[in-house]
């Protein structure tokens, strides 16, 4: 028994010192870890302090810059606008842009000049080239009624050469001379309208008569079998609004359109014509004053009609038979449309639709094609517009 107890005691004695050594090791390890942590905190604390100082400095810089920007970009108490056109007197409030002046002033804008702290520029022409000194540093609150790059759509040459199935084939000259001659060789019966780039001096020619090298111009294939109304050619103006380029967003106003009809023979009164009188305004024009003001006609002036002008038999020397000029025939002057428009007060579009139905045609199909044409043109020009916008904003930044 004694020997056994002694053995157990010896074993316990042997284990005792081992326990004490293990405890000392843990305490030493904890002390080392605490020391390392303190050193780490000291090391990274200095870095964090430096980063905080940098962040604080950046915030102060942003604050100061914002104050400076606000002081330089202060929006005037009364929004000011100015107007521009290279060729027209648009400052006259009773002139070309009188409706623009009226609407803006009704909205609280004050007419001013480009020398003032303006808010809005309303330009009749594409402004980003002629007015570059004024527009290359636009302020955040300033707006312009054009997008950069929309000239690819509104310029007749760029639009005509869009390679669209809805637009007759066209060529810029002399740049596209070889391509034009090749196309003419493949389409020997084609006639071409030769136009100056500013849409002046339109004439119909065959290929041999086209001068391909004298000055910048373009030629466009002539549509020989157009849709006629009372024997007249016409063009259609559709109201389209571009509100965004990225993403592309385009609106088409379907309430009405603008029709212009050619007036061959000149403005002489037909002896057999019987005027259509408005029931409430005898001896006066049967259309409302708003339309009269838009067409520069006097409200009290009797309605003057034009003789029916026939496209056939076709005479290429008679430009008035196929070119819709400034003295175009309005809807209320076209015999087949006059009653719908003047007496029944239909819109231009609805009056035209009535005529199409009377000819066994579907107006819905016509306007669907118009919408498809608008869509195709904008999609074809989208990348040009985006590039122009990016270029302008790169200059601004």
Q: What percent of the chain has pLDDT over 70?
A: 67
The pLDDT of 142-169, averaged and rounded, is 91
* Whether pLDDT at 285 is above 70: no
283 and 369 together in one domain: yes
Examine residue 263 and state whether it is found in any structural domain, yes or no.
Answer: yes
Examine residue 158 and state whether it is found in any structural domain, yes or no.
Answer: no
Per-residue confidence at 133, pLDDT binned at 50, 70, 90? confident
Q: How far apart, in whole angstroms, are the C-alpha atoms of residue 338 and residue 286?
A: 10
Task: Domain of residue 110: give its range.
Answer: 80-146
What is the full DSSP assignment across 104-126?
Answer: HHHTT-EE--TTS--SEEEESS-
Examine residue 50 and state whether it is found in any structural domain, yes or no.
Answer: no
Examine residue 9 and state whether it is found in any structural domain, yes or no.
Answer: no
Question: Rounded to whole angstroms, what are the CA distances from 130 to 13, 29, 79, 141?
Answer: 104, 79, 24, 21
CB 321 within 8 A of CB 243: no
Question: Rounded to whole angstroms, what are the CA distances from 50 to 37, 83, 153?
Answer: 20, 53, 55
Q: Tell me the per-residue pLDDT of 27-47, one tens digit each, with 9 for 90 and over.
A: 776 667 666 666 665 555 566
Per-residue confidence at 23, pLDDT binned at 50, 70, 90? low
**Domain count within the chain:** 3
| Radius of gyration from C-alpha coordinates of the chain | 39
Q: Tell me the per-residue pLDDT of 168-188, one tens digit each, with 9 for 90 and over.
A: 999 999 999 999 999 999 999
Q: How far apart, in whole angstroms, are the C-alpha atoms of residue 154 and residue 158?
A: 8
203 and 238 together in one domain: no
| C-alpha of 382 from chain center | 10
pLDDT at 253: 93
242 and 367 together in one domain: yes
* Whether pLDDT at 301 is above 70: no
* Whether pLDDT at 267 is above 70: no
218 and 238 together in one domain: no
pLDDT at 41: 58
* Whether pLDDT at 95 is above 70: yes
218 and 324 together in one domain: no
322 and 238 together in one domain: yes
Q: Which residue has the tokens 């009609």?
A: 305
* Whether pLDDT at 111 is above 90: yes
Q: Tell me the per-residue pLDDT of 302-346, one tens digit each, with 9 for 90 and over.
A: 332 333 346 777 777 777 777 777 777 788 888 999 999 999 999
- Smallest CA-to-CA distance from 202 within 218, 188, 189 is with 218
* Whether pLDDT at 138 is above 90: no
Q: Which residue has the tokens 């579907």?
A: 362
Q: Which residue has the higher pLDDT, 313 or 74?
A: 313
CB 193 within 8 A of CB 203: yes
* SS3 at position 131: coil
288 and 194 together in one domain: no
Q: What percent of the chain has pLDDT over 90?
A: 39
* Whether pLDDT at 84 is above 70: yes
Q: Which residue has the tokens 């919408």?
A: 371
348 and 246 together in one domain: yes
- Smallest CA-to-CA distance from 122 within 105, 133, 137 is with 105
pLDDT at 258: 86
Q: What is the mean pLDDT of the chain?
A: 77
pLDDT at 89: 87
369 and 263 together in one domain: yes
Pick from 30-39, 184-193, 269-278: least confident? 269-278
Question: Rounded to whole angstroms, what are the CA distances from 24 to 13, 31, 34, 227, 327?
Answer: 18, 11, 15, 107, 110
Q: Which residue has the higher pLDDT, 355 or 49?
A: 355
133 and 247 together in one domain: no
Q: How far apart, in whole angstroms, are the C-alpha atoms of residue 303 and residue 301?
A: 6
Q: Dihedrals φ, ψ of 84, to 5°?
A: -145, 140
Q: Which residue has the tokens 């985006």?
A: 386
Tokens of 112: 């001013």
pLDDT at 264: 56
Sequence-ordered list of residues with C-beta below 8 angstroms from that of 159, at least 6 positions apart, any chain: 152, 153, 167, 377
Per-residue confidence at 289, pLDDT binned at 50, 70, 90? very low
Could you tell me the pTM of the whole model?
0.66
The pLDDT of 204-228, averaged and rounded, is 87
Q: Tell me the per-residue pLDDT of 224-252, one tens digit each, with 9 for 90 and over.
A: 888 999 888 888 889 999 999 989 999 99
In degrees to the nearest 10, what's the CA dihedral of 92, 93, 95, 97? 110
Q: How far apart, in whole angstroms, are the C-alpha atoms of residue 83 and residue 114?
A: 9
Examine residue 280 and state whether it is found in any structural domain, yes or no.
Answer: yes
Tokens of 117: 């702290």
H or E segment and range at residue 234: strand 234-237
pLDDT at 52: 66
pLDDT at 12: 45
Tokens of 41: 């905190």
Q: How far apart, in whole angstroms, are the C-alpha atoms of residue 99 and residue 105?
A: 10
256 and 301 together in one domain: yes
Per-residue confidence at 274, pLDDT binned at 50, 70, 90? very low
pLDDT at 187: 93
Examine residue 39 and state whether it is found in any structural domain, yes or no.
Answer: no
Q: Is the dihedral of CA 275, 279, 281, 286 positive or negative?
A: negative
Examine residue 278 and state whether it is found in any structural domain, yes or no.
Answer: yes
291 and 361 together in one domain: yes
Examine residue 135 and state whether it is found in any structural domain, yes or no.
Answer: yes
């Amino acid at each position: 028994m004694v020997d056994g107890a002694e053995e157990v005691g010896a074993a316990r004695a042997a284990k005792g010192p081992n326990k004490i050594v293990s405890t000392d090791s843990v305490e030493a390890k904890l002390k080392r870890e605490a020391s390392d942590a303190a050193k780490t905190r000291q090391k990274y604390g200095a870095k964090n302090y430096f980063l905080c100082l940098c962040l604080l400095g950046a915030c102060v810089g942003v604050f100061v810059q914002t104050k400076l920007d606000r002081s330089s970009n202060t929006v005037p108490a009364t929004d000011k606008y100015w107007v521009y056109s290279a060729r027209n007197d648009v400052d006259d409030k009773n002139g070309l842009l009188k409706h623009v002046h009226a609407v803006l002033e009704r909205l609280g804008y004050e007419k001013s000049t480009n020398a003032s702290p303006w808010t809005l520029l309303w330009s009749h022409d594409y402004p980003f080239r002629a007015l570059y000194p004024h527009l290359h540093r636009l302020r955040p609150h300033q707006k312009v009624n054009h997008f950069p790059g929309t000239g690819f759509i509104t310029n007749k040459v760029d639009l005509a050469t869009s390679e669209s199935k809805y637009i007759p084939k066209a060529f810029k000259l002399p740049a596209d001379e070889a391509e034009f001659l090749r196309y003419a060789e493949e389409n020997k019966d084609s006639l071409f309208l030769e136009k100056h780039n500013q849409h002046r001096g339109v004439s119909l020619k065959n290929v041999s008569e086209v001068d391909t090298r004298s000055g910048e111009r373009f030629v466009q294939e002539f549509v020989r079998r157009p849709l006629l109304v009372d024997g007249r050619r016409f063009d259609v103006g559709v109201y389209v609004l571009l509100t965004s380029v990225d993403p592309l967003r385009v609106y088409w106003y379907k309430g009405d359109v603008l029709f212009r009809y050619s007036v061959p023979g000149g403005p002489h009164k037909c002896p057999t014509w019987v005027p259509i009188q408005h029931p409430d305004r005898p001896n006066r024009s049967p259309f409302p004053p708003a339309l009269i003001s838009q067409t520069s006609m006097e409200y009290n002036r009797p309605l003057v009609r034009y003789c029916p002008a026939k496209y056939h038999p076709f005479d290429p020397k008679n430009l008035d038979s196929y070119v819709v000029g400034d003295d175009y025939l309005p809807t209320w002057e076209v015999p087949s449309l006059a009653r719908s428009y003047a007496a029944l007060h239909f819109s231009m579009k609805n009056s035209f639709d009535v005529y199409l139905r009377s000819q066994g045609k579907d107006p819905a199909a016509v306007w669907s094609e118009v919408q498809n044409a608008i869509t195709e043109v904008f999609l074809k020009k989208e990348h040009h517009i985006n590039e122009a916008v990016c270029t302008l904003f790169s200059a601004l930044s």
